[in-house]
Chain A
């Protein structure tokens, strides 16, 4: 393929995103890297308990209406508070004697029946903040009413894996989430794998390959940039091809941002990237008005995608190694508003999905009558769920340091 540098070709690049003559360094190097790290850890006498495990965190932005997702169908207070947008007992998808899922959540219902879905009731934190911005920051940093430069996943990575590993954290999005901001690691952040490359002709690409070399220097910052550059030179092509080459016949539901992103994750897991944390997000949950059709669609996307992802992981033989945690920055007001929607609220359920999850309900459902300014009182501190994922799932014993406090774990994993 001849690459003449021209405006035309550059547009072609921008359109196609690929630069054709890729630096196709294979995967073995990456596997090697992982095993080297594991060897090093073993030599230090602290091998990881679960070096194969992966945590996928899914953010629902805007504040999902938890009450209309996991529905207390037999509670009169629910129907009284939701005369217009409430889901009837007959329509809801039954889970147990008390709770049912929104009719859109057939995928989640399937996961629940298979024992792969844990629902944690009433998640929140003391003195909830009802601003999207602030509340999301609290969930990202795990420091409610405080702040931190780094995210909770970033801090976890820093203490769990203090020697940075390429592609350890992958955040699929156009901007890095505060949740994965890390002092030591450099999360890979991208939205479109096809555009994750350098613009330039074949001759220039040859020069770019030299940017992938890491050589020792006395300048630690230079060492760092060189390491990232290697990831960019080698890793980017791995990520591009992992995503581009991934084919699956598993039905994730309709094509939307979330299904496309989860397929990228599946592709990267299959390609054997050393990634331990994937971060994915989905927006649109801020349903102040005409909530019913909007949330219905979002929940279809969400629950089909989660079910499809599980099936796909099963297909590629990694279902036992992956757990997905789903959160949103707050639930919504108990009473519906005059616009057929709901306003910003507080406590809301969290979901954990995976083959190793002990499915079922956790925590105490918040009362629908004992409210705080019309809002649910939280019953589970979300940091308990975070701590559970870190300790029980990832096998990290010092979650206290990351979460800046002691939070009981929930016994979510077999």
Chain B
């Protein structure tokens, strides 16, 4: 066997007897008692918003509730909800402020601003240097070749650091989803992150992005009116939709348009282009001062000087409106509660929403003055939520797919292999980087053949990790840039690679570097399983690359020369010549930026998933192969596994074990069970909850 097992499942065979003996009655009830197929709800539950009765409350329905109002869980967690009344279970999830969540770690910042400067555009740097001799908190000029290089290096370091640190933050958020005792809080925050979709792509400030996340979390089950005001004044949003540039006399309509189209009323629902212009005027003066250093507050400012205090006619109401007034007017429109409840329903319940249900839910929200909790409770308690059309009919969004998998496995950390960020990105959902202001398209668009296969391959690599050969993608220079030291030899750029032992980027020789890159390109990087996980060169418009090339240089020369001109055989320039013709060099800056940023940004932990399927099987008291497969199906699937698939997995496991009986002393059993779990978790059925 050449298998590299996760240390967690190497338990001496004898220990199983003890484990078996110690399994409590609660666990057995949790995992073992439920019928193999969920009870079918009566047909008349469809569109019935009255609460489900205690009599109808089952383990399956509790599981359904936890899937949707959270990220699923272990049988034990489901049992806890099943033991409550339905109303108590829903209250427990919705009134989550009552649950202590103080054990959750705050985001542990790397400290990417050692010079006290934040990112500001490259084109502004030239002016800075002329005025102050400094840029990005460091002395801009050096003697000799490339005199302005230090400032350019720092620019790229900050740029790469912003993306890198943001990815670390998304790992942190995913871990919070995994560990939180308040699952609905994170699920709602994810919903609002999609609703008010804002991307680090443009904001370029991870602290502001995390600030927005905090705002969304604080209001997640609160009052939508308050949340909308907070979002309109949120610094990341002010950057993202340009309201910071929306000033008297020079209105910018970006936020005004989207707030009605995507955040409240819905496209074509009762507003005109003129309303957009008037709303933009009302919102003038809600702005954000420049953020160039860590001491800049980065806080919303309501500037009377920049506000257009003329009379506006907005959605039929005339007055000297400001932002607060305008938001109140938007919330008075019947389209707004309709749009919001529709979106919430489609996220939490199912795709198709009956018009009269929509109307009733909208009324509920409006009557509660946009308090969200009553609406959420109505939805989660309703018979409609538990009807056949609602159960097992939603395609898990990628982040939910990953987090719920970890939760069902009972993991205590986000697995470091394969990489979470890379996987969720390739599956189509990179946290903090929604594709555009409309958010993720969701639903069916999550699943295409490539993503379906990748979901299964992710599970395979998580359950059978290969730590020795794993190249951590957070420390690999992006594809388009990693060859810079080889292509631009005249600049003597020392190539660096990540050393997990020292925890730093360490220098290597050019020859060695060439070899290492060949290895990466061949796909020894675990992450390569999905094709090209990094933003491909050919679609760089919205990736970091795009930004890196977008800032224009006012300098006479850049190295964006084609590769053919800079091959090793054509090295002509010497440093002295360079010095006479160039003041800085973008390729040098880019590569330095990656190296320095990867040193600045803390590495993502690479612990492998710690899980024992032997233990899971033992807890369910399974004694033979088909019981084991059924136990796994119950634990992981929300819809019944198609019989021929189940049969194929049963015979696979039987074949692997060479017998129909489970033998807890058999050291090979864990591997066989793992493979079976991988098969179940690769099934089409597993994509639904």
Interface residues of A (CB under 8 A from B): 5-8, 10-11, 14-15, 17, 59, 61-62, 132-133, 136-137, 146-150, 173-178, 181-184, 186-192, 195-201, 203-204, 206-208, 210-211, 213, 215, 218-222, 224-226, 228-229, 231-232, 235-236, 257-258, 261, 281-284, 286-290, 293-294, 296-298, 329, 337-341, 343
The one of A11, A177, A201 that contacts B524, using a Cβ cutoff of 8 Å: A11
A290 near B524: Cβ-Cβ < 8 Å:
no
A177 near B539: Cβ-Cβ < 8 Å:
yes
A136 vs chain B, min Cβ distance (A): 5
Docked complex Cα distance between A288 and B561 (Å): 11
Known A-B contacts A6-B1, A220-B393, A329-B541; A189 and B552 likewise in contact (beta carbons under 8 Å): no
Q: When each residue 527-554 of chain B gets 1 if its CB lies under 8 Å from chain A and 0 otherwise, what string results?
A: 0111111111111111001100110111
Closest 5 CB pairs of A and B: A289-B558, A232-B449, A297-B562, A174-B532, A6-B2
B668 vs chain A, min Cβ distance (A): 12
Q: When each residue 434-473 of chain B gets 1 if its CB lies under 8 Å from chain A and 0 otherwise, what string results?
A: 0111100100110111111100110011001010110000
A224 near B546: Cβ-Cβ < 8 Å:
no
B561 near A281: Cβ-Cβ < 8 Å:
no
Interface residues of B (CB under 8 A from A): 1-4, 201-202, 257-258, 261-262, 267, 351, 388, 392-395, 425-426, 428, 435-438, 441, 444-445, 447-453, 456-457, 460-461, 464, 466, 468-469, 522-524, 526, 528-542, 545-546, 549-550, 552-562, 564-565, 586, 639, 642, 644-645, 648-649, 652, 655-656, 671, 675, 678-679, 682-685, 687-688
Docked complex Cα distance between A182 and B441 (Å): 9
Docked complex Cα distance between A150 and B554 (Å): 38
- Since A189-B448, A198-B456 are in contact, a sample of 16 more A-B pairs with Cβ atoms closer than 8 Å, ordered by chain A residue number, is A62-B540, A62-B549, A173-B536, A181-B445, A186-B444, A191-B531, A198-B682, A203-B656, A204-B679, A213-B645, A221-B392, A290-B560, A293-B561, A294-B562, A296-B562, A341-B560
Known A-B contacts A149-B438, A218-B388, A225-B688; A283 and B450 likewise in contact (beta carbons under 8 Å): no
B343 vs chain A, min Cβ distance (A): 12
The one of A196, A199, A218 that contacts B461, using a Cβ cutoff of 8 Å: A199
A294 near B639: Cβ-Cβ < 8 Å:
no
Q: Which single residue of chain B is at the shortest CB-CB distance from A17?
A: B523
A220 vs chain B, min Cβ distance (A): 7
Known A-B contacts A187-B448, A339-B556; A178 and B561 likewise in contact (beta carbons under 8 Å): no
A207 vs chain B, min Cβ distance (A): 4
Contacting residues, chain A, for B448 (C-beta < 8 A): 176, 186-189, 228
Contacting residues, chain B, for A181 (C-beta < 8 A): 441, 445
B453 near A281: Cβ-Cβ < 8 Å:
no
Known A-B contacts A196-B450, A213-B644, A224-B447; A191 and B461 likewise in contact (beta carbons under 8 Å): no
B2 near A195: Cβ-Cβ < 8 Å:
no
Contacting residues, chain B, for A8 (C-beta < 8 A): 2
B408 vs chain A, min Cβ distance (A): 18
A15 near B553: Cβ-Cβ < 8 Å:
no
B526 near A228: Cβ-Cβ < 8 Å:
no
B541 near A208: Cβ-Cβ < 8 Å:
no
The one of A177, A215, A339 that contacts B552, using a Cβ cutoff of 8 Å: A339
Docked complex Cα distance between A177 and B656 (Å): 42
Q: List 13 contacting pairs A-B, 8 Å CB cutoff, sorted by A.
A: A14-B529, A61-B540, A146-B257, A175-B536, A178-B436, A188-B450, A196-B453, A221-B688, A235-B449, A283-B538, A288-B550, A288-B553, A340-B556
A137 near B453: Cβ-Cβ < 8 Å:
no
B560 near A282: Cβ-Cβ < 8 Å:
no
The one of B438, B445, B553, B648 that contacts A339, using a Cβ cutoff of 8 Å: B553
Docked complex Cα distance between A339 and B557 (Å): 6
Q: Which single residue of chain A is at the shortest CB-CB distance from B458?
A: A199
B95 vs chain A, min Cβ distance (A): 30
A224 near B444: Cβ-Cβ < 8 Å:
yes
Q: Which single residue of chain B is at the shortest CB-CB distance from A169?
A: B448
Contacting residues, chain A, for B538 (C-beta < 8 A): 61, 173, 257-258, 261, 281-284
The one of A17, A136, A188, A293 that contacts B565, using a Cβ cutoff of 8 Å: A293
A236 near B639: Cβ-Cβ < 8 Å:
no
The one of A189, A293, A338 that contacts B450, using a Cβ cutoff of 8 Å: A189
The one of A149, A220, A339 that contacts B554, using a Cβ cutoff of 8 Å: A339
Contacting residues, chain B, for A178 (C-beta < 8 A): 435-436
Docked complex Cα distance between A396 and B156 (Å): 48
Contacting residues, chain A, for B2 (C-beta < 8 A): 6-8
Known A-B contacts A174-B533, A203-B656, A341-B558; A222 and B639 likewise in contact (beta carbons under 8 Å): yes
A22 vs chain B, min Cβ distance (A): 13
Docked complex Cα distance between A261 and B536 (Å): 13
Known A-B contacts A281-B539, A290-B561; A228 and B447 likewise in contact (beta carbons under 8 Å): yes
Docked complex Cα distance between A174 and B540 (Å): 11
Contacting residues, chain B, for A201 (C-beta < 8 A): 675
Known A-B contacts A192-B531, A207-B648, A232-B449; A137 and B536 likewise in contact (beta carbons under 8 Å): no
Docked complex Cα distance between A149 and B267 (Å): 11
Docked complex Cα distance between A146 and B253 (Å): 11
Docked complex Cα distance between A229 and B438 (Å): 28
Contacting residues, chain A, for B559 (C-beta < 8 A): 290
B648 vs chain A, min Cβ distance (A): 4
The one of A132, A213, A288 that contacts B642, using a Cβ cutoff of 8 Å: A213
Contacting residues, chain A, for B262 (C-beta < 8 A): 147
A200 near B460: Cβ-Cβ < 8 Å:
yes
Known A-B contacts A191-B532, A206-B652, A293-B562; A61 and B539 likewise in contact (beta carbons under 8 Å): yes
B539 near A221: Cβ-Cβ < 8 Å:
no
A299 vs chain B, min Cβ distance (A): 11
Contacting residues, chain B, for A284 (C-beta < 8 A): 537-538, 540
Contacting residues, chain A, for B524 (C-beta < 8 A): 11, 14-15
Docked complex Cα distance between A133 and B267 (Å): 21
Contacting residues, chain A, for B553 (C-beta < 8 A): 288-289, 339
A289 vs chain B, min Cβ distance (A): 3
Q: Which single residue of chain A is at the shortest CB-CB distance from B542?
A: A133
Docked complex Cα distance between A161 and B561 (Å): 44
Docked complex Cα distance between A221 and B639 (Å): 11
A257 vs chain B, min Cβ distance (A): 5
A212 vs chain B, min Cβ distance (A): 9
Most buried by B among A183, A191, A210, A231: A210
Docked complex Cα distance between A228 and B456 (Å): 14
Contacting residues, chain A, for B464 (C-beta < 8 A): 5, 7, 10
Docked complex Cα distance between A198 and B201 (Å): 32
Docked complex Cα distance between A160 and B216 (Å): 40
Known A-B contacts A283-B540, A294-B560; A338 and B687 likewise in contact (beta carbons under 8 Å): no
A297 near B436: Cβ-Cβ < 8 Å:
no
Contacting residues, chain A, for B444 (C-beta < 8 A): 183-184, 186, 224
A204 near B541: Cβ-Cβ < 8 Å:
no
Q: Which single residue of chain A is at the shortest CB-CB distance from B649?
A: A207
Contacting residues, chain A, for B535 (C-beta < 8 A): 174-175
